[in-house]
């Protein structure tokens, strides 16, 4: 099932999500739906609050569905180490059409659980490190625009407000 994606301005995007505690069939179904929703939206990552579900889990695929080994599920993820810095264009499915150069660590290690609750750690660099940080922040109620200058952030907020008024958001 493809969920509608919650856009910036909705409260669920700006509050910390609750930890996942039930590793059951409904979690499995939710994860399948999240992958389907992410691929339909051509995203490389999707966090549960972005479909209105305030739970700590996200899906990532920096290959956009081209490499089956790139499919990643992170349940209750936590960034445990970071290294270096990269500044690249970043976007978010909840802020469609807004992209901005955003500083991130060049390498990041995440600790998370899989579908059955088993813990693992995974290191990523480049776009994957960026995705780890971006999605983990979603689960803490934080969006990538928080890393931009106030000027840039206010400009995005203004444009969103204008679109909300025009019924285009
Ligand atoms: Zn996002």
Tell me the pLDDT of the chain (169 aa) as tens digits. 999 999 999 999 999 999 999 999 999 999 999 999 999 999 999 999 999 999 999 999 999 999 999 999 999 999 999 999 999 999 999 999 999 999 999 999 999 999 999 999 999 999 999 999 999 999 999 999 999 999 999 999 999 999 999 999 9
Q: What's residue 31's pLDDT?
A: 98
Give residue 26 CA to ligand 1 midpoint distance, Å: 23
Residues with a catalytic annotation lie at: 135
Q: What's residue 33's pLDDT?
A: 98
Residue 94's SS3 state is: coil
Please, how many CA atoms are within 13 Å of residue 107, restricted to the half-sphere of its CB? 5
Give residue 131 CA to ligand 1 midpoint distance, Å: 9
Q: What's residue 72's pLDDT?
A: 98
76 and 92 in contact (C-beta within 8 Å)? no
Give residue 81 CA to ligand 1 midpoint distance, Å: 21
Instruction: Quote the Cα angle for 117-38-99, to 5°.
Output: 120
* CA atoms of 150 and 153, how far apart (whole Å): 5
Element (DSSP H or E) covering residue 134? helix 127-139
pTM metric for this prediction = 0.97
Q: What's residue 121's pLDDT?
A: 98
* CA atoms of 169 and 7, how far apart (whole Å): 8
């Amino acid at each position: 099932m493809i969920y509608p994606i919650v856009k910036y301005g909705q409260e669920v995007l700006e509050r910390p999500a609750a930890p996942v505690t039930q590793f059951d069939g409904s979690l499995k179904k939710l994860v399948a739906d999240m992958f389907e929703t992410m691929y339909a939206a051509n995203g490389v990552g999707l966090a549960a609050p972005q479909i209105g579900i305030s739970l700590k889990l996200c899906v990532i695929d920096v290959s956009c569905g081209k490499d089956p080994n790139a499919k990643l599920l992170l349940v209750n993820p936590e960034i445990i180490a970071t290294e270096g810095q990269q500044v690249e264009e970043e976007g978010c499915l909840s802020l469609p059409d807004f992209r901005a150069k955003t500083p991130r660590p060049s390498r990041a290690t995440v600790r998370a659980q899989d579908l059955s609750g088993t813990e693992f750690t995974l290191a990523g660099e480049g776009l994957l490190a960026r995705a780890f940080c971006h999605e983990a922040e979603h689960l803490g109620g934080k969006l990538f625009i928080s890393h931009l200058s106030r000027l840039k952030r206010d400009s995005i907020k203004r444009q969103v407000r204008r679109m909300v008024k025009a019924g285009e958001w």
